[in-house]
Amino acid sequence: MSLSVQGQAVSRGIAIGRAVLVASNRLDVAHYFIEAGQVDTEVDRLRRARSAVVEEIGKVQQSLQELGPKDAHHELAALLDVHLMLMEDTQLQAGVKYWISERLYNAEWALTAQLETISRQFDEMEDPYLRERKADLEQVVERLLRHMRADANPAPMHAPSNRRGEPLVLVAHDLSPADMLQFKQSVFTGFVTDVGGKTSHTAIVARSMDIPAVVGARTASQLIEEDDWVIIDGDAGVVIVDPSPIVLAEYGFKQRQGEVERERLSRIKNTPAVTLDGERVELLANIEQPQDSTPALSVGAVGVGLFRTEFLFMGREGRLPDEEEQFTAYLAAVEGMHGLPVTIRTVDVGADKPLDRSAREDHLNPALGLRAIRWSLSEPSMFQAQLRAALRAAAFGRVNLLIPMVAHVGEIRQVLAHLARARQQLDERAVAYGPVRLGAMIEVPAAALCVPAFLKYFDFLSIGTNDLIQYTLAVDRVDESVAHLYDPLHPAVLKLVASVIAECRALGKSVSVCGEMAGDVAMTRLLLGLGLRSFSMHPSQILAVKQQILRADTRKLRAWAQAVVASEEPGTMMGD
């Protein structure tokens, strides 16, 4: 039966494909695709784990018999019998083999995918005894996974491939930004998650993949089943499950229209971003990995305005990248941009970008906690290693250093002291380094209200609207239950953005916007009218924003932009 779910539109376009579910149960396993030649190896891993579990249960049964007959033991023995029966269950075995051989899932993923499928059947059972057997099944799967983890030779990670040649869409309850990055090189044509807001980091990485995506779709991962046909409408934020042929045809048409539009946009790739009245605008790229410099250059970005270096630090189980590893990454970005500037933002972990999955719930209020520069200052040796790596990369090209989430002048002084120390350490080691321009992110209202003081220390500012909105409106950017309150057009947000731009211009310092607002075509005219001449966004958004710029006349936008900022309901004036 066809049904639709509403969520948040985060990445435009239409995707139509078969659902691949990333297990939403509590078993946290790696999800990756294997190559066709590795199917037997993965099935063997599973077989070995199965034999080990059967043996393990057999031993427990044996020791129970030796203890003699006692009531409690009867119950335990019966439970173990159930577990053994489940191990023999043909639906479990056949299902897991299907996911491995037909979908090329790694064994752990296949096992949890089949667990999910069978669990749903258990949930629908009327008989409470049978329904409770779901817990047994989970325990059996957990036992198998434990043995598989101990198995030394899992198949190596591979970029996903799809044997049947059908498009695939990814469906998950939640995905961490690090998981998302893992899927970045994949064949998925779209994705949907139950949780998340428009500017959650998972959504941001999805946008960088340039595939249609919907987040905050609440129950999508429960309603959608493996292999279901799904339409993801990334423009409207709608997910349609099991569409009728008419709906399918309609969306197929929309999808082709989108492709034609993209093709048309690609023609302005080499056109300079200059408004009708001759104002030159800088269009920069936001990147997560050094190799993102390739798509950035391919759409004509004139530099990197934000390199989110924290993606080098995430999901590494405590083993953080050292100076050499970071230097290699920064150098690759600098060389990849062929002489254009690269803005390296110092690590911004915390909040919805935990270092590791397990660290997610360590803090009550992570967005207000030890995040970004606060974390860096609390880890001086790590911070200095990062500064040294960036300074060294600056010997090979133009590098800007950007500090996230600064709120106190005291923090700025500490950053400067660390920077001086990092230079001194490189001098002592006689290692070459280059000059850097130093900038601050304006993403906390406190910083937005102290621009003149900040500009005594910084060469440039970059407005991080994603966090500035979150902190101004006290709305968690990740929480879909308050997503309706996350309003980039709130008068308070616009007043802060407008005043930061105006103060920088008055003091002759450069300012850009690097939050998602910069890549939103609905905001381009307003930001131009407020005097912004530098925008940083994901490469996939650059051409659409450029098109807006080419059609704009800033002389006509100035008074209107001021009126929008002064309005009680700026949203009502945006179409003017």
Among 50, 308, 388, 392, binds ligand PEP (CB under 6 A): 308
How many CB atoms sit inside 10 A of residue 324's CB? 12
Strands 168-172 and 188-193: parallel
Nearest residue (CB) to ligand PEP, 242 versus 411 = 411
**Residue of 87, 101, 94, 115 whose CA lies nearest to 35:** 101
End-to-end CA distance of the chain: 42
Q: How far is the C-alpha of 243 from the C-alpha of 230, rounded, in Å?
A: 7
- Residue 529 binding result from ligand PEP, Mg ion, none, given CB thresholds of 5 to 8 Å by partner type: none
Nearer to ligand PEP among residue 21 and residue 478 (C-beta): 478
Pick out residues in 493-522 that bind ligand PEP (CB under 6 A).
Answer: 514-515
Interatomic CA distance for residues 11 and 215, integer angstroms: 9
Residue 377, burial from CB neighbour count under 10 angstroms (0-12, 13-18, 19+): middle
Among 242, 443, 476, 520, binds ligand PEP (CB under 6 A): 443
465 binds, among ligand PEP, Mg ion, none (CB under 5 to 8 A by kind): ligand PEP
Clarify whether 201 is annotated catalytic: yes
> Is residue 348 part of the contact set for ligand PEP (CB under 6 A)?
yes
Q: Cβ of residue 403: shortest distance to Mg ion, in angstroms?
A: 11
DSSP 312: G
Residue 32 carries which side chain, given as an amino acid letter?
Y
**Does 464 sit near ligand PEP (CB under 6 A)?**
yes
The 105-124 contact track toward ligand PEP, x by CB under 6 A, reads --------------------
Restricted to residues 193-252, the positions that interact with ligand PEP (CB under 6 A) are: 204
Residue pair 69/96 in contact (Cβ under 8 Å)? The answer is no
290 interacts with, out of Mg ion, ligand PEP, none, CB within 5 to 8 A per kind:
none
> How distant, in Å, are the alpha carbons of 32, 133, 387, 390 from that of 400?
36, 58, 11, 9
- Which residues contribute to the site for Mg ion (CB under 5 A)? 443, 464, 467
Active-site pick, 31, 83, 173, 201 = 201
CA distance 453 to 439: 13
The option from Mg ion, ligand PEP, none interacting with 308 (CB < 5 to 8 A, set by class) reads ligand PEP
CB of 202 to ligand PEP, least distance (A): 11
Q: Which is nearer to Mg ion, 467 or 503 (CB)?
A: 467
Nearer to ligand PEP, 111 or 517 (CB): 517
Residues 293, 286: Cα–Cα separation, whole Å? 9
Residue 530 interacting partner from ligand PEP, Mg ion, none (CB closer than 5 to 8 Å by kind): none
> Of the two residues 443 and 503, which places its CB atom closer to Mg ion in the complex?
443
CB 440 → Mg ion: shortest distance, Å?
A: 12
Q: Can you say whether residue 303 is alpha, beta or left, with left for phi > 0 and alpha for psi between -120 and 50 degrees? A: left
Q: Residue 402 or residue 544: which is nearer to Mg ion going by CB?
A: 402
How many residues touch ligand PEP (CB under 6 A)?
A: 11
Site stretch for ligand PEP (CB under 6 A), options 146-154, 464-472, 481-489, 495-503? 464-472
Between CA 419 and CA 393 the distance in angstroms is 14
Interatomic CA distance for residues 490 and 341, integer angstroms? 33
Report the candidate in 470, 436, 478 with the shortest Cα–Cα distance to residue 352. 478
Q: Near ligand PEP by CB under 6 A, which window of 132-140, 165-173, 386-394, 461-469?
A: 461-469
- Which does residue 337 bind out of Mg ion, ligand PEP, none, counting CB within 5 to 8 angstroms by kind? none
Query: Which amino acid is located at 466 in the chain?
Result: N
Question: What is the Cβ-side half-sphere exposure of residue 51, based on CA atoms within 13 angstroms?
Answer: 6
Q: Is the dihedral of CA 362, 367, 368, 372 positive or negative?
A: positive
Rg of the chain over Cα atoms, rounded to whole angstroms, equals 26
DSSP string covering 31-42: --BPPGGGHHHH
User: What is the nearest approach in angstroms of ligand PEP to the Cβ of residue 45?
Assistant: 38
Rounded to whole angstroms, how far apart are CA atoms 79 and 139?
11
Q: Which stretch binds ligand PEP (CB under 6 A): 57-65, 161-169, 177-185, 462-470?
A: 462-470
Nearer to ligand PEP, 53 or 347 (CB): 347
From the candidates 147, 173, 514, 538, which is the catalytic residue? Answer: 514
Classified as helix, coil or strand, 259 is helix
- Residue 45 touches which member of ligand PEP, Mg ion, none, C-beta under 5-8 Å by kind: none
In 369-477, DSSP assigns E strands to 399-403, 436-442, 460-463
Binding status of residue 465 toward ligand PEP by CB under 6 A: yes
Tokens of 263: 């093709």
Q: Is 514 a catalytic residue?
A: yes
Is 466 an interacting residue with respect to ligand PEP (CB under 6 A)? Answer: yes
Query: Judged by CB, which is closer to Mg ion: 148, or 349?
Result: 349
Look at strands 342-345 and 304-308 and give their pairing. Answer: parallel
Q: Is 190 helix (H, G, I), strand (E, B) or coil?
A: strand
Q: Which is nearer to ligand PEP, 105 or 458 (CB)?
A: 458
Q: Check binding of 352 to ligand PEP (CB under 6 A).
A: no
> Which residue lies nearest Mg ion, judged by its C-beta?
467
The set of catalytic residues is 201, 514
| Interacting residue ranges for ligand PEP, rule: CB under 6 A | 204, 306, 308, 348, 443, 464-467, 514-515
